[in-house]
Structure 1
Amino acid sequence: MEESKGRIQYAYQRKRYVRDDATNMDMGIRVDASDRISRLPDHVLHYILSYLSIRAVVRFSVLSKTWHRISTSFPVSDFSEDVLLLGKRYEIQDWKNKFIDFVQDSLLAQHHHNTRSHKFRLSMDLDSYDPQLTSRADHLLELATKCGVYEFDLNFQNISHYCLPRALLSAEEITVLRLNGNYKLSLPRDAINWPSLRVLSLMNVRVDEAILQNLICGCPLIEKLALVYCYGVKSIRISGCIKLKEVEVNEGDSVLERMEIHVPSLRTFCYTTGLVKSFFHIDMTGCRNLEVLKLKFYNITEVIGQVFQDLIAQFPALKVLALNCYATSVSRIKISNPQLEKLQLWSSALTKVTITSPSLHSFKHFTYGFPSAFSLDQSSLQKATLHVHKGALYSSDFLQLREYLGNFNQIRRLTLRINYVGIRFIPETLNNISIPALPDIKHLKLKICPSTGASGSLANLKDYRDIVDGLLWVCHPETILLISGWSSENLFIQILCEKLMQGGEKQHCCTSSRIKCWRHDLKDIQIEHLQRNAEAKAFTCGTLLESLPNLARGQKIRFIFNW
């Protein structure tokens, strides 16, 4: 803001100096200063204005007639009432009219100078008790269509009801329409004619089935449809859209009970629900070519969960599946898709997970606990990412982690992120059960993220020492990749180095326990600092500790273990 003011003041001073220079030249006085900026071609000045905020562009328009012409002919595509606010809004109605005047002048100037923008975003508060204000906003949309705009993003607030103007409904060249606002949408009796529309998005808009059906039928070549928090819709039926490739439905708190989609061209479907439903019917048997499916559930019952689990099995061409079962009563899930390549799974209460997908090569699991029964067909799996969120990790949790990671043996790349409050790893509490560490995890990328506990303090040094002992008790990877930067990452690297430097004392490290610690299996260790030029700088534990405070954020440190 201050920078914009400074630029404006500088331009104003330069303009004043130009007047003074002209006077001095008339008097025969030689001057060095001149207003060279105003003499530049319009397209160059537009290029200069493109580096400024829209608010700064508007401020320039009041400097002079020349700058008003340049500013209003500048191809602005984003008109936001809040962004363009120039002063205190003592008289809101007067300000709204001035804002509309500016948008109108800008559209007319762009049309006159042939510098029009094909995108038009209008964000402003309307007034349900002032139909003239809404009429003026509709007139802006009519001007935009005449200026060749074919992408509309309209955000109208503070209005209970809005009817799409006929000028917009008859704009045959429109390709994108996004409507956002907490209002009830209605349509005039005229038929919708959007033969070129490719993207239709409704957010926070109240519609009924009839209006939604008219909108969809009015754009036969639509490719993407998004319905986000569209209240009032109980049933959605989509068919006959031969070009439709992507559908997103986020019902929020609506009362959606039935959804039928019969579109063979559909490739991506995203659905989010947050309500406890006693009944829900979904029919997508006409979407056999679906490749990407993203489902997010909150507070659904086991019965409704089974409905969506049956849905997953209906798509033989499915390649990407993202499934969020957070905070649901669903405890079991079975995924069996022969062509599935990527799977993302969020879970909090799953106790049994069965995945049979022989083509799977990427798996991401975000979990708040380890499933007691986990089965994964990993014949083609190349990499896996595991995010574990736990309040506190104890020895028994490391035992569960060992059993869980056993499903990912033979995987070359494993990313493990652990979010925790506290760590306590005491092998003696495992009743001296001697379980060999996992030997087949190749390359482990590790990120340790301590959370703030109830006391308000972060993890202490003992937490880091215990998690190093616990993880190397769980598995013996060939390499561990760590990223320097934040204090938690650097502290973990420090503790790991200190633990490795104690390797020479392994004959006395665990004499009181029948379970031998990881030091007895470690033969050698190498440390590399991976450079951006693909070179690697060798470190020892000692030299790494010395260099650690000076390492920039995001540096890759690789530990190479010889077990």
Structure 2
Amino acid sequence: MQIDESYCALVNRWIEYAIESNVKELNLSNICPPKYSQVPKSVLVAKSITKLTLCFCNLKSLPNDINLSSLKKLVVGRVYMEDQNFQNLIAGCLVVEEIKFEHCKGLKNICVSGLPKLMVIELVNNFELESVEIEASNLKSLLANFVNPSPIFNLLPCENLKNLALYSANVTDKWLHDLLSKNPLIQSLDLNCCKMLKTINISSDRIQNLTFNRCRALIEVNIATPKLHRLKYFGNRKSFSSNTSTFSVVSSF
């Protein structure tokens, strides 16, 4: 079947029917070529939707009066989205608990704030990012998978943060020390390809899982983590010290 404007008009009627039927989970992924698949306004003000997935959609122009008043989870992927449209979208999701943005082109500056119920953020391979700032007091889990060149990354204190995974983030020893001191509830810390880390000092009575993967400049890791259950290290030979013993972990690239 040839995909054309008439077919996409039919798809839009199906979407309208779903909205009128108070659909709770709506997945709009690659249903039409992006030039035809502008997300209908009715989707962006639907009171019933609790989970919304937008992939391969046309998000080049979004209204500034989005109101997804019941939305708990938002997934956006493989789209072109400029900064203002990003802000318009998340500003209309005031009770959202989980957001994921993956492989979004055009997105240069992410600023997340004013979402009091937000607990999970995933930012994956958004290639044009220049800066990321996150302020979310109830945030519990953050995964940020950056690509080179890594954006400026500012994570304001999230007193409920428990799980943090960073990939290719330009974070320093001091940044990590300050982060851990201001976010004392972290239980799982996963650092991957963070090329600026050299000497890491971790003192925590909460951390249970630690991963260091291909942090090539890393020289030394000193840990005082009495509840640590799992330590993973991938890279060249390094020396680790703990509050009970000193040991070495060896793995090769």
**Same fold, judged at TM 0.5 (above):** yes
- Structure 1, residues 414-446: CA drift from partner, whole Å, max 9, x if none? xx9x899xxxxxxxxxxxxxxxxxxxxxxxxxx
Tell whether 2:1 aligns with 1:133: no
User: Is this contact kept in 2: 1:166–1:190, CA < 8 A?
Assistant: no
Task: Give the distance between the partners of 1:359 and 1:257, measured in 2 at CA.
Answer: 37
Write the distance in 1 (CA, Å) between the matches of 2:64 and 2:240. Answer: 57
What SS does the aligned partner of 1:210 have? helix
2:117 to 224, 227, 243: 243
Cα distance, 1:208 vs structure 2: 1.0
Displacement, 1:132?
Answer: 2.1
Match of 1:179 in 2: 54
Confirm whether residue 341 of structure 1 aligns to residue 208 of structure 2: yes
Say if 1:269 and 1:292, in contact at 8 Å, map to a contact too: yes
1:141 aligned counterpart, secondary structure? helix
Name the % identity. Answer: 22
**Which of 285, 300, 306 is the equivalent residue of 2:156?**
285
How much is the aligned-residue C-alpha RMSD, in angstroms?
Answer: 2.8
Distance 2:195 2:93 in 1: 39
Provide structure 2 residue ranges, at least 5 long, that are not aligned to the other structure.
none
Residue 404 (str. 1) matches residue 245 (str. 2): no
Native 8 Å contact 1:226 1:247 kept in 2: yes
Deviations along 1:307-354, one digit per CA (max 9) or x if unpaired, are: 7635643422211111112xx644624042423222122226355231
The alignment status of 1:364 with 2:237, answered yes or no, reads no
Per the TM alignment, residue 163 of structure 1 is displaced from its structure 2 partner at its CA by: 1.9
- Deviation of 1:259 after TM superposition, in Å, equals 1.4
Match of 1:73 in 2: none
Alignment partner of 1:352 out of 200, 212, 219:
219
Choose the corresponding residue for 2:141, options 245, 248, 268. 268
Q: CA deviation at 1:136?
A: 1.3
Q: Could you report, residue by residue, the CA deviation over 1:519-561 in whole angstroms, capped at 9, with x for unpaired residues? A: xxxxxxxxxxxxxxxxxxxxxxxxxxxxxxxxxxxxxxxxxxx
Matches within 5 A, 1:43-58: none
Q: Is the 8 A contact 2:51 2:71 kept in 1?
A: yes
Question: Where does residue 431 of structure 1 map in the other structure?
Answer: none
Asked if the contact 2:62–2:89 (Cα under 8 Å) also holds between the matched residues in 1, the reply is: no
AA aligned opposite 1:258: S
Q: CA contact under 8 A between 1:234 and 1:258: conserved in structure 2?
A: yes
Counterpart CA distance in 2 for 1:245 and 1:403 is 36
Per the alignment, do residues 378 and 361 of structure 1 end up closer, same or farther by CA in structure 2, a change over 3 Å counting? farther
> Structure 1 stretches of 5 or more lacking a match?
1-91, 94-126, 380-401, 406-415, 421-563
What displacement does 1:141 show? 0.9
Q: What is the alpha-carbon distance in structure 1 between the residues aligned to residue 13 and residue 203 of structure 2?
A: 52
**Partners in 2 of 1:273 and 1:374 — Cα distance?**
27
Q: Deviations over 1:156-203 (max 9, x none)?
A: 16624332112212210100001111x541455472221110000101
Map residues 6-17 of structure 1 onto 2, 5 A cutoff.
none
Q: How many residues align?
A: 249
Give CA deviations for 1:20-44 in whole Å, capped at 9, x if unaligned: xxxxxxxxxxxxxxxxxxxxxxxxx
Work out whether 1:256 is the aligned partner of 2:129.
yes
Report the 3-state secondary structure (helix = DSSP H, G, I; strand = E; otherwise coil) of the residue aligned with 1:225: strand
Larger CA Rg, structure 1 vs 2: 1
Distance 1:198 1:267, change over 3 A: same
Distance 1:190 1:255 in 2: 23
For residues 264 and 331 of structure 1, the distance between their equivalents in structure 2, rounded to whole angstroms, comes to 26
**Deviation of residue 151 (structure 1)?**
0.5
1:459-470 map, 5 Å: none
Give the superposition deviation at 1:217. Answer: 1.1
Match of 1:321 among 186, 189, 195: 189
Greater share of residues in helix: 1
**Equivalent runs, 1:90-489 vs 2, <5 Å:** 92-93=1-2, 127=3, 130-156=4-30, 159-161=33-35, 162-181=37-56, 183-187=57-61, 189=63, 191-252=65-126, 254-277=127-150, 280-297=151-168, 304-306=170-172, 309=176, 312-313=179-180, 314-325=182-193, 329-330=195-196, 332-338=198-204, 339-347=206-214, 349-371=216-238, 373-378=239-244, 404=248
TM-score by length of 2: 0.85
TM-score by length of 1: 0.41
Residues 500-519 of structure 1 correspond to what in structure 2 (within 5 A)? none
* Structure 1: distance between partners of 2:16 and 2:32: 22
Q: Deviations over 1:219-260 (max 9, x none)?
A: 1100001011111111111111111001111134x2212112
1:212 and 1:310, CA in 2 relative to 1: closer, same or farther beyond 3 A?
farther
The verdict on how the C-alpha distance between 1:376 and 1:166 changes in structure 2, with shifts beyond 3 A counting, is: same
